Amino acid sequence: MIRTFPLCRVPGTLLACLLSVNGYGHGETPMEVGTLVSAAVSVTWRDDGMLLQDDGRWLIPGVLMGGEAYPVDAGVTVDEARLDLAHRTAERVFGRLQIASHDGVSDAEIHHAYGGLQLDTGPVLTTLAAGRMAAAMTPANGEHASDRLFSETPLPLQAFLGSQLNDDGARVSLGLGAWQLGLEAWRGDRFPAAGEGEDLNDVYLHYRDGWNGVQVFAGIWWLQADAVNRSDTRYSADGHDHGSVSQSTTLPEYWFDGRTEIGGAFLRLDGGHASHWHWALEAQYLQVSIEGSVRDSTRLAPWSAEDNGGWLQASLGHGAHTLGLRWERLVLENHLSGAAAGALADLTGLYNPDHDPERISAVYHWQVQPGLALRLEAVDDAIQTESIQRVAVGLVWQAELL
């Protein structure tokens, strides 16, 4: 297996942008000196869940699912519960520990456990971090139900990152003014790498600034993941007992070997905070190239894919009340070959009957108190060829405990 360091693929224009701007630092790095302990819980009742396969699995037609891409279920679900401890010294040494459960998964796990330091090296602010953390190439990757306007994880993240890329690894970020260049190298245990721990790296360039009262946060990123023997462990991994699959059900076993490359771009605009009115716009796009093969115990089919996915989100608020809309869509193009192409396309869920998985959501968000919000959502879910509608009522509680 040829290992390539992602920096060698960074376009020259990207580096040129970096070198022409001023100092800046952001992200999950604790920025305030001292210790902060916080907690958040998001609980949602839904009148209906997502459409599942007969065996209880949730598949997006045309996507090789994996990671922690779980469906939402009918009834009451704890979308997220987390306890977060962050500490930063005056010497710019920091650490963070977060224990969380999310996406209705019953058991909590260590979500963040990392440490690092910042080095003020002239105009460049260098941040080093290592440990378990969420990849920072797009801010959406680090957000959960308590952070987002909507309770459900964006569809492209579910499809292409297994809900969230969270792994053991190291990050180097260089901040210059409004710009930040980040390089991340991961152990490769998580989707879309996973399996036997192959390469998983990403690089990103972010821009964050304020223009005439509008906060701008934009970025482009690129990720490469190599996988050997990657399987869909969503319903078999320890501590991930998800209710949609019966324990007595025998699920098909299959594996992916190959490379996934994802390019992404995003823009977030946030304005109007000087008045009672406030608004926000967000656009996210992911372009995915996959080259490899899928196989089960006896069959193999070479597989390549050129997928696109993205979402647009807009919200308008007045005081504690916010209305929002989100449109998400996937465009999936799969090529399978060989005698087992049809059988494995069916088995793995890669067969897509010319359908663009799509979801449109509307939300009313009421910040009842500083730490408590009510969320009402209506979702038109056309992820499967048969579309369904559901409504949801949720509460989001957040608090700084220390």
Partner 1 sequence: MRCAGALRRSRLWTLLYPLLCSVMLVACGGSETYLDDEAANKTAFDWALREGVPLPLEPAANPMSETKFQLGRHLFYDARLSGNGTQSCSSCHHQDKAFTDGLVVSVGSTGDSHPRNAQTLTNVAYNATYTWANPALITIEAQMHTPLFSEQPVEQGIDDSNQDAVLQRILDEPRYEALFAEAFPAQGSPVSFANIIDAIAVFVRGMTSFNAPFDRYQLGQRSALSASALRGQELFFSEALECFHCHGGYNFSDSTVDRTIAFVERPFHNTGLYNIGGSGDFPPDNQGVFEATGDPSDMGKFRAPTLRNITLTAPYMHDGSIDTLEAVVEFYAAGGRNVESGPYAGDGRTNPFKDSFVSGFAITAQQQADLIAFLHSLTDESFVTSPRFSNPWE
Residues that bind partner 1 (CB under 8 A): 13, 17, 20-21, 62, 205, 207, 209, 216, 218-220, 248-250, 265-267, 283, 285, 287, 295, 297-300, 308-310, 312, 329-346, 350-357
Residue found under tokens 């879309």: 192
Nearer to partner 1, 86 or 347 (CB): 347
Nearer to partner 1, 330 or 392 (CB): 330
Closest CB 354 distance from partner 1, rounded Å: 6
Closest CB 245 distance from partner 1, rounded Å: 13
For residues 113-132, one letter each, b for 16 or more C-beta atoms within 10 angstroms of the residue's C-beta and e for the rest, the string is ebebbbeeeeebbebebebb
Closest CB 294 distance from partner 1, rounded Å: 11
Tell whether omega for the bond before 30 is within 30 degrees of 0, i.e. cis: no
The kind and range of the H/E element at 13 are: helix 12-18
Closest CB 334 distance from partner 1, rounded Å: 5
Which residues are CB-neighbours of 295 under 8 A, at least 6 positions away?
A: 254, 255, 257, 301, 344
Closest CB 243 distance from partner 1, rounded Å: 18
Nearer to partner 1, 91 or 386 (CB): 386
Closest CB 323 distance from partner 1, rounded Å: 22
Nearer to partner 1, 132 or 208 (CB): 208
Report the candidate in 330, 327, 322, 338 with the shortest Cα–Cα distance to residue 384.
Answer: 330
Nearer to partner 1, 312 or 388 (CB): 312
Closest CB 316 distance from partner 1, rounded Å: 20
In contact, 270 and 283? CB cutoff 8 Å:
no
**First CA to last CA across the chain, in angstroms?**
48
Nearer to partner 1, 91 or 354 (CB): 354
Nearer to partner 1, 70 or 217 (CB): 217
Report the candidate in 187, 165, 197 with the shortest Cα–Cα distance to residue 286.
Answer: 165
How far apart (Å, rounded) are the C-alpha atoms in residues 307 and 160?
9
For residues 292-301, one letter each, b for 16 or more C-beta atoms within 10 angstroms of the residue's C-beta and e for the rest, the string is bbbbbeeebb
